[in-house]
Amino acid sequence: MRPEPAGGVSEGLNGLVTALQANYCSVALEGPGPGGAGQLLCTRRTRLAKSGQSICVGDRVRVEGIDWPAGRAAVAAVHPRSSLLERPAVANVSRIVVVVALAEPVADPLQLSRFLITAEASGTPVLPVLSKADLLPATAVADWCRRLQGWGYAPLAVAATTGQGLEALRQELQQPGITVICGPSGVGKSSLLNALLPALDLRVAAVSGRLQRGRHTTRHVELFGLAPGALVADTPGFNRPRLPRDPAALGALFPEVLAALARQGPCRFSDCLHQGEPDCSVGTAWERWPLYRQCLDDLQQDLERAPAPSSDPAGLRRRGGRLEPLLAARYRRSSRRSQRQQEEREDRGPGQS
């Protein structure tokens, strides 16, 4: 039932962008509106659109011109962001959960590392979650956990099917702030979320219904409430996250490298790439060194193939020296269609639906 009108257009209110679609965004109000209205479908104020200000999922915004009976309003301002994850574009992220399966598909340390590197590049805390733990013997699961601990992480092993590790994961996700869940498709992210939050489907349906789209038919990100103040962004899977563009920045995305530098002090050369240079504090005797080398090679190749673009293929553009995601599909649909199709092919990967 629709809430009663509150007597015409109300004063502005603050809310959080929980989903984006073309020129609309879904905004969860910080406090309930008349009749308990909590979610508004919003356009952008013209002057905001003209200023080029982007809107991302996770943004705190000010909405004005609220039409309570219709559940519509317009975003008038975007509050400053504490962080911005680039791909998927999510603002104000508190932590990133990287999910990889221990089996089906078999765990690949390089792919896992690439996800971890991408997550680390955001500067937010990273939690690896090893899913489908029911498919391996307990000793093999424990070996994987120890391995990731050696990388500098505190992983959780979980199984949506048996419930193993779900309480520990719930504790993590109930921390205040926005948690982004990422990982390749097919590793069980949706199964985990559904196991943790049986009401999720309802909420998904509510948001998606308004926006006229299904949950899994979209590459867009949506935020779901798990506990008061704790939101989870379920991101579309992608199989090959991008590496940073600067080879010198790669090392700092490996916790082992940071730990070695903290222990041993800086390397002799400030631009050391930790490949056996004289007086390198990091050295080469660490488990992921071959993976680090491989990433370094891949990154060099990427750079040779595609020198610094004016606009990042992930849907980012440079504004005032900063990268910002593009919002309105209206503006990018035609020019970016082929890029997006390419990304979708990448994201599906071989044999993925």
Q: What is the dihedral of CA 85, 314, 216, 82, to 10 degrees?
A: 10
Instruction: Give the Cα separation of 320 and 322 in Å (integer).
Output: 6
Is 260 a binding residue for Zn ion by CB under 5 A? The answer is: no
189 is an interface residue for ligand GDP by CB under 6 A: yes
Does the footprint of Zn ion cover residue 250 (CB under 5 A)?
no
- Answer with the entry of ligand GDP, Zn ion, none that 160 interacts with (C-beta below 5 to 8 A by kind): ligand GDP
Judged by CB under 6 A, the residue of 160, 243, 316, 326 near ligand GDP is: 160
Residue 267's binding partner among ligand GDP, Zn ion, none (Cβ under 5 to 8 angstroms by kind) is: Zn ion
- The listed partner (ligand GDP, Zn ion, none) that binds 280, CB under 5 to 8 Å by sort, is Zn ion
Residue 308 in tokens: 């610094």
Alpha-helical (H) ranges within 197-328 are: 200-211, 247-250, 255-264, 289-305
| Dihedral pair phi/psi, residue 96, rounded to 5° | -120, 130
| Least separation in angstroms between CB 110 and Zn ion | 21
Under the binding rule (CB under 5 A), the answer on residue 282 touching Zn ion is yes
Q: Residues binding ligand GDP: what is the number (CB under 6 A)?
A: 15
Among 45, 87, 114, 274, indicate the residue that binds Zn ion (CB under 5 A): 274
Instruction: Using only the alpha carbons of the chain, give its radius of gyration.
Output: 22
128 contacts ligand GDP (rule: CB under 6 A): no
Q: Pick from ligand GDP, Zn ion, none: which does 250 bind, CB < 5 to 8 A by kind? A: none
Which of ligand GDP, Zn ion, none sits in contact with 71, Cβ below 5 to 8 A by type? none
Residue 342 Cα distances to 130, 146, 251, 345, 349, angstroms: 28, 37, 29, 5, 11
Give the long-range contacts of residues 153-156, CB within 8 A, separation 24 or more.
153/116, 153/126, 153/127, 153/128, 153/255, 154/127, 155/127, 155/128, 155/129, 155/130, 156/127, 156/128, 156/129, 156/130
Q: Can you give the binding site for Zn ion, defined by CB under 5 A?
A: 267, 272, 274, 280, 282
Could you list the residues that contact ligand GDP (CB under 6 A)?
A: 131-132, 134-135, 159-161, 185-191, 237
